[in-house]
Chains A and B, each alone.
Chain A
Amino acid sequence: MKRLVIDFAPRTMRRAIFQTRPLALLIGCAGLAAGLWAGLSALDLSKQIDADQVQLSRLKGKARDSAAARPVTAAPKVSEGQANAVNNAVAQLNVPWRDVLDAVEGATPASIGLLALEPDAKRNVVRGMAEAKTSGDMIAYIEALKKQGFFDIVILTKHEVNDLDPNKPLRFQFEAQWRGEGP
């Protein structure tokens, strides 16, 4: 059966405390103590955070001061000629020799005598000089170079018969341009 709650005693704080069961009172006291402990811990942590903030701002200020006091080292002055020379040297060093040689070797048959290869790093161009027995071999060689994926453009720039040679070979020059890395 359900409890009847009828009581004429005045509602006072003292009565409420005595009406509370000891276990509930114990749990309440434990909760109060835990809350108090948590509050004090939070206060300590808050003070610690404030102290850390103060130290952090002090260290930031110090770092700013030391950065401001550091002398700015002047960049070394380089003349235009020197800069061009350095850039040329860097460009020469950056020529993709392995790819150029692979492409030329892959397109050169035994009937072609390759005499010289001269790169021009500024224009991404390699100039070559070769000899062929006939003009057909020369044209086939130029076509073979064009088919190499590495080169974009292959141009025959000059050709002549070498009369000084008893076999009368056809000496010719060509330019092959590869795709640059971009600016």
Chain B
Amino acid sequence: MLNLVSARFSALFGAGVRIGLSGSAFAVVRQAPWGGKSTILANHALNVDHAPGAPLTETASRLVAQIDVDFRAAFAETPCAGLPVRVVLSDDLARLFMVTPPQNSARLHDIKAATSMRFQMLYGDLGADPHNDWCIEADWQASRPFLACAVPRSLVEALCRAAGEHGMHVQAIEPNFVAAWNAARGRIAMGAWFGAVHEEQLTLAAIAPNASHLGAVRSLAIPADGHELQWIEEQVARTALQLDVPVPQQLCLSGNRNQLWVDRRKTSTAGAAKEGLAINNLDQGSAVAGTVPVSAAVLLAGKAVRT
């Protein structure tokens, strides 16, 4: 009882549990209060048959079965009852898409209906009921296109149930792109584009010149030769052509593996007359991308902070 009260009190001063979950890895980090030391409670690959092209609902149902086991293992020795939990899901567990609000929308309900229709149009295979099988949340806007995100409902419910069974309550469940954007939004230069990298996936955000909000979003799988500079430049140019917007001069990246592009840009421009796309690693020097190499799942968990 005393431990529970102590945990709830320390939660007011920043203590909490951060969870990073992708289709193939799971990490739990316990954050001490007052910005104290973080402790990694779990960090391992998941024994889930996660095929890159498999429907997300199938991957989610396999993860759901695994989550209870992982929670029990993570909190067996270090109970965290009473602490708030923040979860960051990798972008391969979420569907990110842009929605243009209908011009005659009068209520939030209209915009939500338009979002459901857009989701059905983009991903609605599938015989699945979007209302029962998916949770759809968005950065609701009435006057401009906005980002929406869909996550398998079973995954959200499994996370909440598992946290509740261990005496914790879920305070936030965000996709990696949203967590990275919110953490880095103050450092994105005007006119630059933003990208969130996690393992072999890049989520690219196009931002209109002189705009301070997201214009479009593209999820790209990084191929084997994707860490060559040419690949990222081609992707940015192609996305700009598709969206009919000017090619940006700068790309701000957050996540793992992006330092490779930064280093190659430095090498290629040394002594070159023409400068190409400038690549800026927003995580360089931050606590997330420290000198000690950490797994991608721990990096995800590290982004689960209140911004």
Interface residues of A (CB under 8 A from B): 1-10, 12, 14-15, 18-19, 22, 25
Q: Are B307 and A3 closer than 8 Å at their CB atoms?
A: yes
Given A1-B212, A2-B212, are A8 and B147 also a contact pair (CB < 8 Å)?
no
Is B171 close to A, CB under 8 A? yes
Q: When the two chains form their complex, are residues A14 and B188 in contact, meaning their CB atoms are under 8 A apart?
A: no
Contact, CB under 8 Å: A15 / B306: no
Instruction: Give the distance in Å from the alpha carbon of A147 to the alpha carbon of B117 in the complex.
Output: 112
A6 x B138 contact (CB < 8 A): yes
B214 CB-CB contact with A under 8 Å: yes
Q: Given A1-B181, A19-B306, answer yes or no on A8-B137 (Cβ-Cβ < 8 Å).
A: yes
Instruction: Please determine whether A6 and B149 come into contact, CB atoms closer than 8 angstroms.
Output: yes
Chain B residue at minimal CB-CB distance from A19: B171
Q: Are B212 and A9 in contact (CB under 8 A)?
A: no
A6 and B174 form a contact (CB under 8 A): yes
Interfacial chain B residues near A2, Cβ < 8 Å: 185, 212-213
Interface size class of B (residues with CB under 8 A): 35 or more
Of all chain A residues, the one with the shortest Cβ separation from B84 is A18
In the bound complex, how far is the Cα of B11 from the Cα of A15, in angstroms?
12
Closest to A22 in B: B12
A105 to chain B, nearest CB (A): 101
* Chain A proximity mask over B28-57: 1 for CB below 8 Å, otherwise 0: 000000000000000000000000000000
B166 to chain A, nearest CB (A): 15
Chain A residues whose C-beta falls within 8 Å of the C-beta of B263 in the assembled complex: none
Complex CA distance for A1 and B282, rounded to whole angstroms: 14
B207 interface hit (Cβ, 8 Å): yes
Contact residues in A for B148 (Cβ distance below 8 Å): 6
Q: Write out the residue numbers on chain A whose beta carbons fall within 8 Å of the beta carbon of B307.
A: 3
Report the separation of the CA atoms of residues A18 and B178 in the bound assembly, to the nearest whole angstrom.
20
Distance, CA A10 to CA B138, complexed state (A): 14
Q: Chain A's nearest CB lies how many Å from the CB of B116?
A: 15
Considering the complex of A and B, which 9 residue pairs feature the smallest CB-CB distances, nearest first?
Answer: A1-B185, A8-B173, A9-B170, A2-B213, A4-B139, A6-B178, A6-B137, A9-B173, A18-B84
Against A, the Cβ 8 Å flags (1 = close, 0 = not) of B130-154 are 0000010111100000011101000
User: Beyond A9-B87, A19-B171: 4 further Cβ-contacts under 8 Å?
Assistant: A1-B185, A1-B194, A2-B213, A6-B138
* CB closest chain-A residue, reference B14: A22
CA distance A14 to B306 in the complex (A): 15
Interface assignment of B269: CB less than 8 Å from any CB of chain A: no
Q: Which residue of B13, B171, B175 is within 8 Å of A6 (Cβ)?
A: B175
Chain B residues within an 8 Å CB radius of A3 = 182, 185, 307
Q: Is the CB of B182 within 8 A of A4?
A: yes
Cβ contacts under 8 Å, B12 to chain A: 18, 22, 25
Instruction: Return B35 CB to nearest CB of chain A, in Å.
Output: 13
Chain A residues near B173: list those with CB within 8 A.
7-9
Q: How far is the CA of A12 from the CA of B169 in the complex (A)?
A: 9
Q: Which residues of A contact B171 (CB under 8 A)?
A: 9, 15, 18-19
Residues of chain A within 8 A (CB-CB) of B13 are: 22
| A9 near B207: Cβ-Cβ < 8 Å | no
How far, in angstroms, from A175 to B92 measured CA to CA in the complex? Answer: 129
Pick from A5, A10, A22: contact of B139, CB under 8 Å: A5
B149-177 contacts to A (CB < 8 Å): 149, 151, 156, 160, 169-175
Instruction: Name the residue of chain B whose CB is nearest to the CB of A20.
Output: B12
Contact partner, B147, options A4, A7, A25, Cβ 8 Å: A4
- In angstroms, Cα B11 to Cα A4, docked, is 24
With A and B bound together, what is the CA distance between A14 and B147 in angstroms?
27
Q: List B175-211 residues whose CB lies under 8 Å from chain A.
A: 175, 178, 181-182, 185-186, 188, 194, 207
Q: Which residue of A lies closest to B147 (CB)?
A: A4
Chain B residue contacts of A5, Cβ below 8 A: 139-140
In this complex, the member of A2, A6, A12, A25 whose beta carbon has the largest number of chain B beta carbons within 10 angstroms is: A6
Docked CA distance A8–B139 (Å): 12
Enumerate chain A residues within 8 angstroms of B138, measured Cβ to Cβ: 6
- Interface pair A9/B214, CB less than 8 Å apart: no
